[in-house]
Each structure stands twice: as C-alpha cells, then as structure tokens.
Amino acid sequence: SQQGEEDPQALSIQEGENATMNCSYKTSINNLQWYRQNSGRGLVHLILIRSNEREKHSGRLRVTLDTSKKSSSLLITASRAADTASYFCAPIIDMRFGAGTRLTVKP
C-alpha cells in the first residue's frame, strides 16, 4: 500500500503565485522527504524533514510537518514555469509513493 498520499492531484497556477501541496501518510515516521519529478525523468530529492521538526526551509521551498495528523505540506513561493513537475512525498523508512501532485506553472 502507498505510504505517501498527495493532495491535490493536479494544480495549475500562474507564474509568481505560490503553490501548496499536501501529503498524508499512514505509519509513524522518523523522517519525511519530498521529491520532484520532471516528465520522463527520475526523482530529485528536494527536502527532508525530521519527525522532531515542524518546519523547514530551503530557498523557495517551505515544508511543514504535523506528526499528530500524519501530514506534511510543501509550499513553493514565487513559482516559476520551471517548477512545472510532479511532486511526491514519502516516509524515509518506507519508500512507497502516492499519486503525487502535478503542478503546472503557466508563464
């Protein structure tokens, strides 16, 4: 069964807007990670957040983690057309992915 489940499944925004994606997982975790996949390519690691962290930043990325709700969110600020991709989350202990969020950023 899939561990990470992303929401929404698809998101379309204009360049410059912020994009927020959510992720829910089923089991207890130690770390949660977010990945990005461009069409026809492998996954690229974006950010890892540990279970004792509530928020983490990396450039235009902001990730939050709520272990009580078993959920995480990824915020991309000031989006660019190059951010167009699919985004996935997964607990590090169990590398099963959900359907992902397909983000389209229109120029």
Partner 1 sequence: GAVVSQHPSRVICKSGTSVKIECRSLDFQATTMFWYRQFPKKSLMLMATSNEGSKATYEQGVEKDKFLINHASLTLSTLTVTSAHPEDSSFYICSARDAGTGGSQPQHFGDGTRLSIL
- Please tell me whether residue 43 binds partner 1 under the rule CB under 8 A: yes
State whether residue 81 is helix, strand or coil.
helix
107: contact with partner 1 by CB under 8 A: no
Is 92 a binding residue for partner 1 by CB under 8 A? The answer is yes
58 near partner 1, rule: CB under 8 A: no
Q: How far is the CB of 96 from partner 1 (least distance, A)?
A: 5
Query: Which 3 state secondary structure label does DSSP give 102?
Result: strand
Minimum CB separation from partner 1 for residue 25, in Å? Answer: 14
Q: How far apart are CA 24 and CA 98, in angstroms?
A: 9
Span from 21-29, 30-38, 55-63, 69-77 in contact with partner 1 (CB under 8 A): 30-38
Task: Give the whole-angstrom CA distance, residue 15 versus residue 7.
Answer: 20
List 21, 23, 25, 35, residue binding partner 1 (CB under 8 A)? 35
Residue 69 binds partner 1 (CB under 8 A): no
Q: How far apart are CA 16 and CA 19, in angstroms?
A: 9
Q: For the chain, give the number of residues.
A: 107
Phi-psi group of 3: left, alpha or beta (phi > 0 → left; psi -120 to 50 → alpha; rest → beta): alpha
Q: Which residues bind partner 1 (CB under 8 A)?
A: 2, 30-31, 33, 35, 40-45, 48, 88, 92-93, 95-100, 102
